[in-house]
Structure 1
């Protein structure tokens, strides 16, 4: 949102380093502009990587164990992989030509170094551009120390023109004019501007913070108020790197210019790694030292002073730069910090419970959007529960409230949190029974783990606590049915689910949550039971359940359940030969899944459309979509329940492969593999221009054999002569010629000959 100032030499140097090394790390103190510089370089070199440039922001991540999950999620790699997600990530990147920008690595430097080392060894065409306060120490790493911006020497300059030659001055002027449009450097203030820029040592963050003060003070007035601070800064260089001391002094100076209420808000807001919204401020930050009546004014003031920034949307979100957040945290004493962290956890535990109820009441889209915004804070709250003695049960309740999120978007992360919380408190409890059920529901198992093992223990807990007549017992049975599906025993799953469905139909809820949960449970059971009937070869029973469930899902706003049901019904209609209806159902599933970012349903919808395209004779389009879903095919997403689904896909894939041959299938598949998830969805839904652009590129992609045929056509060879020259049948030669004409949008062999003679330039669009 702001202009990029200077750095021409640095940009050129970093581009050269990226050309010579596959790992370049930008180092320097906080606030020196490492992130901004990295993003600018990435923008400039993007074409070299065909636009395949990925930014992974690590500032909010605190747990090194989640590093690979975070990178995989940013690359649209589904988080349902069995085994090590890092292995899936390496497999995904093995043949990729991409640039990864890993931002803010300093607090995870060991974990980042290990992962980057594995990536650069396993993926020879992947380049990494990292930003960190220290180098990664990986073999082959090229380091680049980001310097401060050049600033004038106040004792050497003699005119405004000289001051204006420096990038540090240009940045100060640019940012100052954002708050005071008439600011300029002239013969009256150039010396003060030079002194100010030099005092800030050219640190971009420091300059931007100081520029805000130019709204109410002149450059001369600011310099007059530096006083002892300037001398203290000079002395500070003896105790550490000069630029570190400079940034610290700048932040301290900005802090000193805040009122006591603003300083309090700064320190407390620093507790929120993912930013905060007004309800969080009122619940956690408000206290005797910061009354609620003053909150809005103080927030506005901190935004004005660039301590906080805002993100738009229906609800304003306040975010803080990481260096400023670190400074704010140091202003809290241990006792105050502990109290606030507990209040932080309590707020997010209550928020999860509220969002869970909203999800059940039909506001799932809104609830999921808030969860996505709060991921950093939810992780911090769960970390508190997992590490603070006596808090694991509260963490289990939080994790249970997030089950819909884990299932749709982050199964591996959810499984990891549940494993940690279960290990932290092995005491039998209602919360432990629920956590064990949820853990079995997530299809992510490490060696030595089994869904049945979790459920056996859950039954022991239920028996010990005498909960066997309540909801806990029936949820164990529901999870056991899911485990049967994962294990390829759909008949057993159907038998269990029929009993569970009967129980829910006769259950009389006693609490608000139970009353909200009952219709959702009935809907969920019907849809999962339909999956089981589909897998056991009982399509009539499955379709009846789905026709009953889908209107209910639409009425109550259960979008994710509706998407699953649409996909399953689409599979059944495909198997019945009704491909037009199947395609309509699959596209509706895909649209809904995209709207709520449900990765599992997105994968299911794409796979179904692959099979439909093959069944309808559009083998090239089917191959392209299969390439686009390659990651999902390898990830064993949660909704792949039995060999039935795999058999359907395998049969149609073989049909498409046989229709166009190995070379054409592979060419289309490779093109599809280069699509992002968003592009793949757009192509699958026939949304232009995405489909037009991609299919035009595909249609103009000739295989090696077809290029040989084109060369022979340019030599004036007939189909018979082409067949003899290439030792193929005349019919095969004719097929190649027809494909070339179609791919290039031509109608005559003469046009092919002219195209070859002209160096195979871009043909007119078909």
Structure 2
């Protein structure tokens, strides 16, 4: 949906649509629902997001419910509050009465009416609009009001709805041009671009550029429209290059729009002018954050020099109300985010004030402190909570690391990357963590303790990625440094990671010796976390060495240490290791219970690698129990999970052989077609569905999990199911179009939707899916 296009008055007083209306079906339904509950609904949101068009379109759809009319009052150009009532009189066609205040005949006229009044652009007359709305609603029981404003009116009975930007393409999704064109922000850009450049279309050659434009402009409709206008003189690729300075670039709006809607800078200037001086200062300082911030971060970084720490909460609340900060809730934590356009504007203001370097330093120091806490050796439940918080602050950590390595002390930056080792692991950012460590090692080349820790940490990440030769080289150098500098604590971890590398190389006796060396050194250093990790590895390695009794003892000791400290994450891995040993010893019931316990905890933490290991063992257990189809389905789900976890099963080198043995066994039992069908069925499961299936959460009557039933049921429409069948028959797009007497482009669009719904990337996958649906009897 797009705002502030040229408009002419329609008979009902609403601005007429002279351009197409894009998206917003859900939002329209929500506004309707709010109108049914409240007599005043205020649509809030940042400038240019489309509040006016949403209010108008909703009014058009509900006008039949208002027998006496729908009235639209545009306040955008009004600067004198005294003109509010006269503007209403004009729209309502109420005659002025010289002996009365203008609002009196307006209230009298509306008193017995059943109507809808839209007060558009209230933010600069907020108090006066609030008084007006309250007065009119008090005297007219049949009146409803929709107000649009960058902040709420804040009167009794008001319901507010934040109007967000249009959805933009997911940066992780690899969408075809046809699928990309269905994303609302892209569809708006495409329609406006076609108006400027007839015949413009999204192609394989320009789709990445179009996607970047829509994402970098935050899906703000006005910004997208201003960008599309520039296609008169530029290609989409040239436009992307010039969006580095979006405020200079996007300056050609509609001549009939208000001045502040004609350029992107004027739009944001208007929001800035509505803020108080302290709010403007906080806006500028908050722009140093990347991807969002929470209250504690704002208080630590933004307070001081004009902002008292105790005032930060009120200032944030004010910026949220003014739609400058976007309030979001993640995993029970409230965070705040600046749209990229708003953040860039704030950075410009911060640079003008000369405070940019100081804010970057404060930002760096704050996140350096969080990393230091995460890197400590203490074992406890608090660490898991901190790691969850760091996952939300990943973009800020990245910025702080870059700042530390390039602007601060490189050694401190390298130590920060080391302290974040468990963050890289927990947040599934193994590759990125290794890159940061390598970047720091390239800067810190002298024989110092920090370099030793970085080499050890990088070797662990390399092992997770299966790069064992690189890991061995780094542990060798770290050992030499540790011995030279007499760093016993470092040497404990070097022995631990060297033992992991030996397991990968099938050098089990050497691995056991190194793990035992690491265990003794961790105990000497009082490092319980290192002790638990080493015991967990010993649990499985003793079993592989032919001594399962000692393996069980090591795993149980790790669990006891974790229980004494209230630690759950490391405990889940010790439980997983005990489950592997139990399965290897034929204790199927115990092994299943242990792996489900691991799965429950790791899924709650969002630890994909931990989930993957537990599901792997459950697949092996299923194969051992004589249920090859279930085992294959779990392995199918795991293919997707391991790819997303960035830490494949190879991080536990001794477990890879069990996976290979399991796959060979169920392939032989099922035969190739049934095996591939079961894999595809598993690959189609969502995260929640795979979890439910792995946990065997059955309904009371013993049916399969609802999640799996849903996965087996076709998500396609009747027409899409028909076309999927024709694809399975081997028909080309042209042949399908001829068979169904539809345009070839229509057939291609249906196939794109089928691929998107099923999460597939090829026609061959559709054919396999159709065969499986036929086998299951699903229509």
TM superposition score category, shorter chain reference: 0.5 to 0.7
Q: Residues 618, 447 of structure 1: CA spacing in aligned structure 2 closer, same or farther, 3 A cutoff? A: closer
Q: Residues 493, 287 of structure 1: CA spacing in aligned structure 2 closer, same or farther, 3 A cutoff? A: same
Contact 2:324 2:338 in 1 (8 A): yes
SS of the equivalent of 2:269 reads helix
2:292 maps to which of 275, 294, 300: 275
Aligned pairs for 1:366-385 within 5 A: 366-385=385-404
Aligned twin of 1:494: 512
Residues 77-132 of structure 1 deviation map (CA, whole Å, 9 limit, x = unaligned): xxxxxxxxxxxxxxxxxxxxxxxxxxxxxxxxxxxxxxxxxxxxxxxxxxxxxxxx
Matched, 1:455 2:307: no
Aligned twin of 2:537: 528
1:392 maps to which of 392, 410, 413: 410
Aligned twin of 2:627: 618
CA distance in 2, matches of 1:675, 1:536: 37
Aligned twin of 1:471: 489
Aligned pairs for 1:403-422 within 5 A: 403-408=421-426, 409-422=428-441
Cα offset, 1:379, TM superposition: 0.9
Q: CA RMSD in A?
A: 4.2
SS of the equivalent of 1:318 reads strand
SS of the equivalent of 1:307 reads coil
CA distance in 1, matches of 2:315, 2:573: 46
Aligned twin of 2:685: 675
Cα offset, 1:354, TM superposition: 2.6
CA distance in 1, matches of 2:386, 2:653: 34
Aligned pairs for 1:65-144 within 5 A: none
Aligned twin of 1:687: 697
Cα offset, 1:263, TM superposition: 0.6
Contact 2:72 2:119 in 1 (8 A): no
CA distance in 2, matches of 1:261, 1:305: 14
SS of the equivalent of 2:485 reads coil
Aligned twin of 2:99: none
Matched, 1:654 2:654: no
2:252 maps to which of 241, 253, 274: 241
Residues 370-419 of structure 1 deviation map (CA, whole Å, 9 limit, x = unaligned): 1111111111101112322x522122222222111222322111111111
CA distance in 1, matches of 2:659, 2:468: 31
CA distance in 1, matches of 2:602, 2:705: 23
SS of the equivalent of 2:275 reads coil
Cα offset, 1:482, TM superposition: 2.4
Aligned twin of 1:119: none
Contact 2:73 2:120 in 1 (8 A): no
Residues 140-172 of structure 1 deviation map (CA, whole Å, 9 limit, x = unaligned): xxxxxxxx446454xx53755343767899999
Aligned twin of 2:655: 645
Matched, 1:588 2:440: no
Q: Residues 531, 395 of structure 1: CA spacing in aligned structure 2 closer, same or farther, 3 A cutoff? A: farther
Contact 1:159 1:187 in 2 (8 A): no
Cα offset, 1:285, TM superposition: 0.4
Contact 1:494 1:529 in 2 (8 A): yes
Q: Residues 326, 419 of structure 1: CA spacing in aligned structure 2 closer, same or farther, 3 A cutoff? A: same
TM value normalised by structure 2: 0.60
Contact 1:274 1:374 in 2 (8 A): yes
Matched, 1:325 2:335: no
Residues 441-464 of structure 1 deviation map (CA, whole Å, 9 limit, x = unaligned): 11256989611222233234335x
Contact 1:501 1:525 in 2 (8 A): yes
Residues 426-453 of structure 1 deviation map (CA, whole Å, 9 limit, x = unaligned): 2332211111110011125698961122
Residues 252-271 of structure 1 deviation map (CA, whole Å, 9 limit, x = unaligned): 01101211111100000111
CA distance in 1, matches of 2:334, 2:642: 39
Unaligned runs of 5+ in 1: 1-6, 8-147, 197-206, 224-232, 510-517, 702-758
Contact 1:157 1:191 in 2 (8 A): no
Aligned twin of 1:34: none
Cα offset, 1:697, TM superposition: 7.3
With CA pairs under 8 Å and 6+ residues apart, which has the higher RCO, 1 or 2? 1
Cα offset, 1:695, TM superposition: 4.9
Contact 2:712 2:778 in 1 (8 A): no
Q: Residues 297, 631 of structure 1: CA spacing in aligned structure 2 closer, same or farther, 3 A cutoff? A: closer
Aligned twin of 1:663: 673
Matched, 1:177 2:187: no
Q: How many residues in Structure 1 have an aligned counterpart in Structure 2?
A: 527
Cα offset, 1:237, TM superposition: 10
SS of the equivalent of 1:342 reads helix
Residues 452-480 of structure 1 deviation map (CA, whole Å, 9 limit, x = unaligned): 222233234335xx531532233322222
Cα offset, 1:647, TM superposition: 2.9
CA distance in 2, matches of 1:679, 1:314: 23
Unaligned runs of 5+ in 2: 35-39, 45-50, 60-67, 79-117, 133-146, 149-225, 227-246, 255-260, 715-772
Cα offset, 1:630, TM superposition: 2.1
Q: Residues 194, 437 of structure 1: CA spacing in aligned structure 2 closer, same or farther, 3 A cutoff? A: closer
Contact 1:406 1:414 in 2 (8 A): yes
Cα offset, 1:607, TM superposition: 0.9
CA distance in 2, matches of 1:479, 1:275: 35
SS of the equivalent of 1:330 reads helix
Aligned twin of 2:281: 264
CA distance in 1, matches of 2:775, 2:522: 66
CA distance in 1, matches of 2:582, 2:488: 38
Cα offset, 1:309, TM superposition: 2.3
Aligned pairs for 1:44-83 within 5 A: none
SS of the equivalent of 1:310 reads strand
Aligned pairs for 1:336-355 within 5 A: 336-355=355-374
CA distance in 1, matches of 2:593, 2:70: 71
1:250 maps to which of 267, 276, 295: 267
Cα offset, 1:591, TM superposition: 0.9
Contact 2:684 2:711 in 1 (8 A): no
Cα offset, 1:190, TM superposition: 4.3
Contact 2:535 2:554 in 1 (8 A): yes
TM value normalised by structure 1: 0.61
Contact 2:533 2:570 in 1 (8 A): yes
CA distance in 1, matches of 2:469, 2:438: 10
CA distance in 2, matches of 1:497, 1:660: 40
Contact 2:75 2:122 in 1 (8 A): no
Residues 609-649 of structure 1 deviation map (CA, whole Å, 9 limit, x = unaligned): 11111111111111111111124567884664666423323
Aligned twin of 1:192: 74
CA distance in 2, matches of 1:502, 1:208: 73
Q: Residues 637, 269 of structure 1: CA spacing in aligned structure 2 closer, same or farther, 3 A cutoff? A: closer
CA distance in 2, matches of 1:355, 1:238: 43
Q: Residues 149, 504 of structure 1: CA spacing in aligned structure 2 closer, same or farther, 3 A cutoff? A: closer
